[in-house]
Amino acid sequence: MDMRALVRNYFIFILVVFAACTEGTSGEPEKTAEETATELLAGLEGSQTWTLANGGSVSKDGTTVTNDFEGFELRFIANNTGKSYTTINSNLLFDSNGNWVFSGSNYDKITLSGIQPASNKEISFTKNQEKLRLEFVVPAPQNARVNALAGFYVFDLTLLN
């Protein structure tokens, strides 16, 4: 084998080894489905606030009720101590704070702790860039106050910057 062929083969070998060593290594382990879904709600830093400002809206049974929730904010927090949330101006639909968990194994539904009508209900969520949609049903119970809040809700929220 002449020297050129030897150098060419050595160069090809080095390229193959380099490609094999760098393929798929970002330095971080691959995230689980739960970790990815948590980041959708709480962000990379572990805390994100979603609001009606900048084009958000609320509907109940297909009727716009955004004005009833003026100034509404929902903050999701996820850290080493667990998953929690806070709300502002929820019009007694949500508790002012509590914990949240994923419902089911698809990680596209959450349940909030608390005593207000939206608590302990399965809330579907979808995120598209800086927009978050929450959909849930508050069933009509015997309690007259909660009965007034019963219905199918859609919250279209924007990320608070």
Number of domains in the chain: 1
Q: Is 1 exposed, middle or buried (0-12, 13-18, 19+ CB in 10 A)?
A: exposed
Asked if the structure places residue 25 within a domain, the reply is: no
Asked if the structure places residue 6 within a domain, the reply is: no
pLDDT tens-digit series, residues 18-76: 555 554 556 778 999 999 999 999 999 999 999 999 999 999 999 999 999 999 999 99
Q: What's the CATH number where 51 sits?
A: 2.40.128
Asked if the structure places residue 42 within a domain, the reply is: yes
Asked if the structure places residue 16 within a domain, the reply is: no
Asked if the structure places residue 145 within a domain, the reply is: yes
Length of the chain: 161
The pLDDT-based confidence of 11 (bands split at 50, 70, 90) is very low
**Residue 51 lies in domain:** 30-159
Q: What is the pTM of this model?
A: 0.81
